A and B are shown apart, each in its own frame.
Chain A
Amino acid sequence: MGARDTTIPEVLRGTLDLLILQALSWGPAHGYAVARWIENATGDALAIGEGTLYPALHRLEERGWVAASWGASENNRQAKFYSLTRRGRAQRRVEADEWRRYAAAIFAALEAPALK
């Protein structure tokens, strides 16, 4: 377990779930597509340790936030496609709002004037 933790940039540890939910918010996708999206969207935050994506996906599935089904990929291979469930959609909104508030607070703090 410890090995996995070191492969994820510290800041992303709690946010991988949110990134996945965000990736799926535009429609069903297989794991590789999710990885590519994160790669592009975050400036390759998962550069080493893409593998951690899959336990995270499966855990989300277990919680009922995403659903999975096997289907044909763009190159016509069997791939496991994930999509958000209704609960997953709600969860994405909640987590995104939380992050925005958190980030805004940190940002505001960073911009704040010095102590008097």
Chain B
Amino acid sequence: MPRWTRFRRLFGLEPAADVDAELHFHVEMRVRELIECGETPERARLLALQRFGDYEQARIECVAINERRKRDMQRTEFITELRQDIGYAFRMLRRTPAFTLAALLTLALGIGANSAIFSVVHGVLLESLPYRDAERLHHLQMLYPDGTRYSALSAPDFMSLRQDTQVFEQIEAFGIQTFSLTGHGEPLEIEGGQVTVGLFDLLGFEIPIGRGFNADENRPGSGGVTVLGHGFWQRTFGGDRNVVGRTLILSGRPYTVIGVLAEGAQLPNAVDLYAPLEFTASFDANTAQGRRGEFLAALARARAGASTEQIDADLRRIGSELQTRFQQTNAALTFTSMPLQTMIVGDVRRPLLVLLGAVGFVLLVACANVANLLLARGSARQGELAVRSALGAGRPRLVRQLITEAMVLGLAGGVLGLGLAYLGTGALIAARPADLPRLDEIGLDRTVVFFTLGAALITGLVFGMVPALQATNEHLLRGLQESSRAGAGGRRTHRLRSALVVAEMALAVILLTGSGLLIRSFIELTRVNPGFQPEGAIAVRVTLQGELYKNGDQVRNRVAEIEDRLRGLPGVVAVGTGSILPLGGLGALNDFAVQGAPPPPPDVNAEIAVASVTPDYFKAIGTPLQRGRLFTNLDHAKSPPVALLNEAAVRRWFPKEDPIGKNVLSGGPREVVGIVRDVLQRNPGQPAAPQMFLPYTQRTNRTIRFILRAQGDALALAPAVRDQIRTLDPNLPLADVVPLQEMVARSIARPRFYTSLLTLFAAVALALSATGIFGVMSYTVAQQSKEIGIRIALGAKTTDVLRGVVGRALALAGIGVGVGLITALALGRVIRNQLFGVDVFDPVTVVGVIAVLITSAALASLLPARRAATIDPIAAFRQT
């Protein structure tokens, strides 16, 4: 300690007063001396001041010096004391290893879980997209009169928007196309982005190798060039920088590689390589042709400062101009936009925030638990604190020391938590929660580390505050003389500890209720009949394009050949082909009307999902025909157009009549020949949409799925399936063979992910609060051992003692359950739209939560209760 700190008490709180007193003293002494020499008091004063010189100046200087000294001293003192406190804290923690271990584990768990979830929230929601001016990027969309949006634009609409906009600086677009890459090892199916040449500039993509697209490369016939995505370049070309200039055969057409994008330059959709979009005749702001063929994703950068209202007004203005100009195609249609960030992460925002909130509750429970441990230890340290207080340490000083201890504990827990978060984040990413966007951007970066350490410090403050204030309470500090074990302070501490346990229980109840509701929803989701039989069926996707597949007949013949070959495999029951898979999405949407029915009102979206299937498709997926007939080989390209409807379509368009034999209009007129059972298209949470099936021979598309149903292990046939297709055309790229059961698993992967995490959090909270109850009851029993001893001596039965202790625990749990349930129900709305088939007020969940909590409270208090029951009255008396 610097030697002058010894004198620090000599400083008043106010250096100015000290200086004034000192200077006054000087002047007074001089005045007195001058009077003694015979001067009048007035003159003496005048002379004294004259001798003194500039009084104000001297005063100001002195005060400044002293204030500076005071500050320096306080700082040094603070640091010295802090160092002492920290050293002391470490010694205390070492002295009570069991306490330290319990507290550290609890904190590491609470803080680690928070960091892990925060790192996900940060990477997915908070960090801006890796695009230039990302906050000004918008995704342009169609807006239908009934308020629904469609995320693609047609070429002419795109050109009109580009030409007429007043709020967007730049509008670019891309389409996604599947290519087959041949002539480079195994044939590969790859995703290609067909882009307007300005797209890379819009998104700020760097092209470190080679060049980007030239301004004129969207012109028809000028293409034949490609820019590789960084990932694809690494995977397929091993990062070879000499790839520029090479020719790739994509779907049978040669493309020259002209450049490679920088790492991390990626469209929102995963794309392997890019080619210029060919501006065919429909890329014309003045044409009506192709206005209802939407295939472009349009991204636009708004002018700086443009408001949402201005953007919306601009898009609606263009929309209504097009409505007047192109009544045939654009009647009732207009445009809207969505910030790109929302477009990408909108779906997961709410669930992720709910998880963050939930994990915050876990941390609160951990805080309460550690506070409880500290309170228990606080009573053990009462003597030490009383001594320090008697030696002159003020209450603020003692509080500071105790909080420093808590913060040391918190920080140590935070450092351990960071380790846990590192493992946890790895596990979260490895779990690949289905379609969680921006997974690559999740990681323990600097922000997450700061968050963790900040959380650790705040945690220390939160759990340290109550015990610190409690332990330094005046009554207790005076306790040096009194033996106050059962005194007022002890009772107060006990009440506080009980309150903490109640709070823990309440938080656990909230989490349990949330996870209970999600578990119930999840069970409901798995119970939904998907409308097909996933067991025993596998699917493989093939895209038929290139030299061999120039026209529809070639494609259809090849499909028939492949089906025949697959049918010949051992154990195969049925082979079908479809443009879609069950739970694989809606696929294409077409306008739809019933022939002869009045046109629907303009604000009704008359669209239907359309899929092409071969005759055995429904047999292969295991979906029964409800009425009429399925397609046969007699439905071919030149036979009368026919269609099958699903039940949802019948409910929507034929509520009262039998559709079979009726004609529907979609493209041209078609006769409805049968009705099939609804098959889920998106996920079990969304009911089947109206869907129309057409014979593959009458609507032939190039990307198709062969579905194969077999007896026994269908997946074992996968190599044979690939061989058969390869024999027919060795250049066909084959995607992985997928069991249909995986489609089901994928469709509920997201709810499964959220449910598992929330359940994990609830379990941790439950375990922590059970530990809390255990701690408090053990403490109570220890405190009241004398009393219990007397009761036993007076003939109380073991069961009475047991009942007494367990009863107290249950009373605490009861209050916690009550408070928790009320809060949980009030909070229920935040997860309402993640629920399926259960209400927020689900009685099964409520009863389950109560049962789980009461049981765990009873179990946690059983051990202390048994200890109470076995108290030896004589030993209990001697103890004091």
Contacts and interface: CB of A to CB of B under 8 A. Distances in A.
B62 interface: yes
30 contacts: A3-B54, A3-B57, A4-B57, A4-B61, A32-B29, A47-B51, A48-B50, A48-B51, A49-B52, A49-B53, A50-B30, A51-B55, A51-B57, A52-B58, A54-B22, A54-B26, A54-B58, A55-B58, A58-B62, A59-B65, A61-B69, A64-B3, A64-B4, A67-B7, A68-B10, A70-B10, A73-B29, A75-B32, A80-B22, A85-B3
B780 to A, nearest CB: 54
Interface in B826-845: none
A48 B54 CA distance: 9
Nearest to A69: B10
B53 A80 contact: no
B90 interface: no
Given A68-B7, A69-B7, A51 B54 contact: yes
Nearest to A59: B65
B25 interface: yes
B377 interface: no
Contact of A80 (B18, B28, B51, B54): B18
A74 to B, nearest CB: 10
A78 B50 CA distance: 24
Nearest to B12: A70
A32 B10 CA distance: 19
Nearest to A57: B62
Contacts of B52: 49-51
A80 B7 contact: no
A58 B65 contact: yes
B146 to A, nearest CB: 80
Nearest to A80: B22
B26 A32 contact: yes
B23 interface: yes
A48 B25 contact: no
A78 B24 CA distance: 11
B68 interface: yes
B65 A48 contact: no
Contact of A55 (B26, B50, B65): B65
Interface string A34-56: 01000000000001111110110
Interface string A70-87: 100101011110000100
Contacts of B597: none
Name the prevailing secondary structure of the B interface residues: helix
B181 to A, nearest CB: 79
A32 B51 contact: no
B26 A35 contact: yes
Nearest to B7: A67
B66 interface: yes
B23 A52 contact: no
Interface in B6-35: 7, 10, 18-19, 21-23, 25-26, 28-30, 32
A62 interface: yes
B869 to A, nearest CB: 65
A51 B7 contact: no
Contacts of B7: 67-69
A44 to B, nearest CB: 9
Contacts of B3: 64, 85
B53 A51 contact: yes
A64 B29 CA distance: 27
Contacts of A7: 53-54
Contacts of B68: 62
Interface residues of B, number: 29
Contact of B25 (A3, A30, A50, A67): A30
B54 to A, nearest CB: 6
B806 to A, nearest CB: 65
Interface string B46-87: 000011111101100110011011000000000000000000
A78 B19 CA distance: 13
A35 B26 CA distance: 9
Contacts of A35: 26
A4 B62 contact: no
Contacts of B55: 51
A59 to B, nearest CB: 6
B26 to A, nearest CB: 5
A68 B11 CA distance: 10
Contacts of A4: 54, 57-58, 61
A47 B51 CA distance: 6
Contact of A77 (B18, B25, B57, B69): B25
B4 to A, nearest CB: 6
A32 B30 contact: yes
Nearest to B29: A32
Nearest to A7: B53
Contact of B23 (A54, A59, A61): A54
Nearest to A49: B53
Nearest to B72: A62
A58 B32 CA distance: 25
A47 B48 CA distance: 10
Contacts of B65: 55, 58-59, 62
Nearest to B2: A64
A50 B57 contact: no
A95 to B, nearest CB: 20
A80 B65 CA distance: 16
Nearest to A77: B25
Contacts of A85: 3
Nearest to A39: B51
A112 B32 CA distance: 48
B62 A55 contact: yes
Interface in B480-519: none
A78 B32 CA distance: 16
A85 B3 CA distance: 10
Contacts of A73: 25, 29
B58 A80 contact: no
A4 B50 CA distance: 14
Contacts of B25: 30-32, 73, 77-80
A60 B609 CA distance: 91
B18 to A, nearest CB: 7
Interface in B402-439: none
**Top 10 A-B pairs ranked by shortest CB distance?**
A51-B58, A49-B53, A55-B61, A51-B53, A58-B65, A32-B29, A51-B52, A80-B22, A32-B26, A7-B53
Given A3-B54, A51-B54, A58 B66 contact: yes
Contacts of B51: 47-48, 50
A4 to B, nearest CB: 6
A72 B755 CA distance: 77
A23 to B, nearest CB: 14
Contacts of A64: 3-4
A90 B4 CA distance: 17
A61 B53 CA distance: 22
Interface in B329-351: none
Given A3-B54, A48-B53, A77-B25, 5 more contacts: A31-B22, A32-B30, A35-B26, A52-B58, A54-B62
A50 B61 contact: no
Contacts of B61: 4, 54-55, 58
A31 B58 contact: no
Contacts of A31: 22, 25-26
A62 B7 CA distance: 12
Nearest to A78: B21
B70 to A, nearest CB: 11
B610 to A, nearest CB: 88
Contacts of B10: 68-70
A70 to B, nearest CB: 6
Contacts of A78: 21, 25
Q: Which of B25, B55, B69 has the most CB of A within 10 A?
A: B25
A64 B3 CA distance: 9
Contacts of B22: 31, 54, 79-80
Contacts of A48: 50-51, 53
A100 to B, nearest CB: 29
Contacts of A59: 65
A31 B22 CA distance: 8
A88 to B, nearest CB: 12
